[in-house]
Structure 1
Amino acid sequence: MSSSVNIHDVFIPLYLRALRNTSHILTKGISHSTASGVPESSVLSWRLAPDMNPLSFQVQNICNIAQNLIVVVLGTPLPNNEVKGATVVDLQARLASTIKLLENTTREQFEGRDVATVTVRELGARMEGLEYVQEYGVPNFYFHVGMVYALFRSHGAPIGKWDYLRGGN
């Protein structure tokens, strides 16, 4: 069977770039907050709305969603590396380990996975791999990446569109 879209070729580079940019935004935002006298614990609990998950969750969830490219699309279980009571150092380590995990995948692993039926536990659904990535994975991933940016921006961190798009590059 010949795959029409190799998920690795299209989506791994997007996820890697956004993970690196999130790390950059976290570094720049924490630096600004620390210089402004805001304790790290306060920063990590920031929310845009009272019923929204805090900044620490947003970063962890970015990693979870990126890892789900492997878990859902390839059907490969990963060890639980959830960070509880996270510090910025923990979150940066989690981002780095997620980047390394994605960097260690190969295009061959994803051959034919665009049309393979995958099970999406949190949706209670089965769909094709490409459908999952396009309709659930990518939008959910970028929603949480945007929240990290928005949280720091709303608290005065000197970040802009280029930090979101290009990170430290």
Structure 2
Amino acid sequence: MSLSLYDAVIPSMKQMVGSIQGVLEKGAQHYEGKGESPDSLLTDCIHETMLPLTFQLNSVIHHSFGAIEGVQAGEFNAVSGLDTPDYAGFQANLAKAAQSLADLSADDVNALAGKDVMFKFGEMRMPFTAEGFLFSFSKPNLYFHATTAYDILRMKGVPLGKRDFLGQLQLKG
């Protein structure tokens, strides 16, 4: 069995975006159940040297569907001009990313194989192929920022477990 670019990237991106959607939903229910706004979570971070939940959520979006858009364009830039909506706005943005991933066809993603992608961060330039970029840069970043978002909510008392982080498993079907 050969593994296509689509198979190696898109299902796991959909799984992580979906898991963070579920984590945010549990966060909203938990805070609203306490009579508090989940918006208060957006500025929280794990450590003073780490970026807040807003950055983590933007990065989940940026390194999922945004990564595919970057490969399509041949250029991917560091997260900048961050979107900082309220909690419900982040939930809506994640829903858009999830839908955009679901709308991708295997043929369209597989056609990106071997394509050149340039990562730009200020003056720094890093040349990749689509596979190298997605496998060694965007997927690890997606998992890191999804984990950090999960950890922030868990640290703030939202009742989450490993199953919440895992999201929808890719079961035999």
Unmatched tracts of structure 1, length 5 or more: none
Query: In the aligned structure 1, how far is the partner of 2:39 from the partner of 2:71?
Result: 35
For residues 95-142 of structure 1, what are the alpha-carbon distances to aligned partners after superposition, in whole Å with 9 as ceiling and x for unaligned? 011111111111111235332222122361111111111110111000
Distance 1:83 1:100, change over 3 A: farther
Aligned residues: 162
RMSD over aligned Cα, in angstroms?
Answer: 2.4
Give the letter for the 1:139 counterpart.
P
State the match for 1:145 in structure 2: 146
State the match for 2:6 in structure 1: 8
The partner residue of 2:73 within 52, 72, 75 is 75
Distance 1:111 1:85, change over 3 A: closer
Distance 1:83 1:60, change over 3 A: same
Alignment of 1:50-65 (within 5 A): 50-65=48-63
> Is the contact between residue 33 and residue 43 of structure 1 (CA under 8 Å) also seen in structure 2?
no
Q: Report deviation, 1:83.
A: 6.4
> Is the contact between residue 115 and residue 129 of structure 1 (CA under 8 Å) also seen in structure 2?
yes
Query: In the aligned structure 2, how far is the partner of 1:35 from the partner of 1:45?
Result: 20
Query: In the aligned structure 2, how far is the partner of 1:114 from the partner of 1:96?
Result: 26
The partner residue of 1:31 within 29, 32, 40 is 29
Percent identity among equivalent residues?
23
- Deviating runs (4+, > 6 A) in structure 1? none
State the TM-score, normalized to the length of structure 1: 0.84
Query: In the aligned structure 2, how far is the partner of 1:125 from the partner of 1:153?
Result: 34
Query: In the aligned structure 2, how far is the partner of 1:125 from the partner of 1:5?
Result: 26
> Is the contact between residue 114 and residue 131 of structure 1 (CA under 8 Å) also seen in structure 2?
no
Q: Report deviation, 1:162.
A: 0.4
Query: In the aligned structure 1, how far is the partner of 2:90 from the partner of 2:68?
Result: 20
Query: In the aligned structure 2, how far is the partner of 1:83 from the partner of 1:126?
Result: 24
State the match for 1:124 in structure 2: 125
